[in-house]
Structures are given as C-alpha cells and as structure tokens.
Structure 1
C-alpha cells in the first residue's frame, strides 16, 4: 500500500532539483577545462600511459613528459 504522503504527488523529478540555482560558468573557464580534457584524451592514446606499465612514479612522469613533448611537436 502506498504511503499517504505520496498519494497526491505529481510524477516527475522532485521539486528541489528544479529549484536549484544554476551554476554559472565563465566562458574562459570552460575553454581551459576543454583544453585540459582534450590533452588528457590525447595522452590516453599512448598505450603505456593509458595502462600505466611503469612501476615507479618517476618513470611514469618521464613517459608522460615524453608523450606530451611528442604531442606538442606534432601540433607545431
């Protein structure tokens, strides 16, 4: 049997979700975020970085640095 407080509700999302203020984002922040996301997606194209084959943090950082340099060299 349905609870009495739910009998007279309309179907749909709760009222709180509609009443939340929208978070304003600045255009410049969105551009920076997009640039960073695209960079990470390109780095994931390198198999060793995506699967993290290196055992130490130093060698992983070196692989990320090398991959970043290669991406930069390709774009220039």
Structure 2
C-alpha cells in the first residue's frame, strides 16, 4: 500500500498464487500513519484508489463502514449483473475518473520496487527474508524522499 506520492505505507507478503483483493482488508488493518504533532496515528485514508480487481461488494462495504471513499471502477460483468436485476440492482457505485487517473502512482511504485533484482525475481525461499528485502526497499525510498526535501 502506497501513499499519493508512491511511498510505501504498508509492506506485507502474501501467497504467490493468491489474489490481491483478499489481502486488502489486512493491508488496511495494518495502516498506521503517525501525526507530526500529538495524537494517535491515522488509520483511515480519505480515499482508496484501486483497479477493477478490488471492485467487490465486500471491499466496498468494508470501506463504507470505515468511512473511506472508494475510487474503484466497476467491471463490465458487474455492470451487466446490476442492469439485469433492474431496479433491484441498485445504483452504480460512485466513480471519479479524474481522481482515478492518479492511480498510476501505485503502478509506478511497483515498477520502482522491481528495479531491485531480488524483489523482481524472488530468489529467497523464505517469505520473511523476502519481506525483509521489501521493507529495506521501502526504507531506502523514504530516505531518498527525505534527502530530496530542502
């Protein structure tokens, strides 16, 4: 999970054959962004941008219960199912195309991670070693960002 600038906020490793969507609630649960001043860390983003793989009723309900905005496009098959149900299908989910254009930050963050050969090819046998490399990469990205600020 990355912020709007592409800096990693949460680094977790899941099973290689598993999809991304089942990990989403776990990622959101681990999100902690410390405040600059006093106060508890933020655990709830304003908006989450995701691709069509994250467009499920469970994820949208989870975000709605936590008061988080969703910027997730609806896949064509879900549109068809909703339209086929007629008035019982409900309204289409809100979608802001302008805000969704910023989702490429996530893809660029993954591309940045893949510049490390060990992360791109996963030579490590143990998940804990692979996660350690991913966390180390996250730390280097944050340090690089801190070095860029005046």
TM-score category of the 2 structures, normalised to the smaller one: 0.5 to 0.7
Structure 1: stretches of 5+ with no match in the other structure: 1-23
**Higher helix residue share:** 1
State how many pairs are aligned.
Answer: 52
1:27 matches 2:105: no
- Segments of 4+ in structure 1 off by > 2 A? none
TM-superposition CA deviations, 1:19-72 (whole Å, max 9, x none): xxxxx76221220x2111110011011111011111111111111111111012
Where in structure 2 are the equivalents of 1:1-76 lying within 5 Å? 26-31=97-102, 33-76=103-146
Q: CA RMSD in A?
A: 1.6
TM-score, normalized by length of structure 2?
A: 0.32
Structure 2: stretches of 5+ with no match in the other structure: 1-94
SS in 2 for 1:36: helix
Which structure: larger Rg? 1
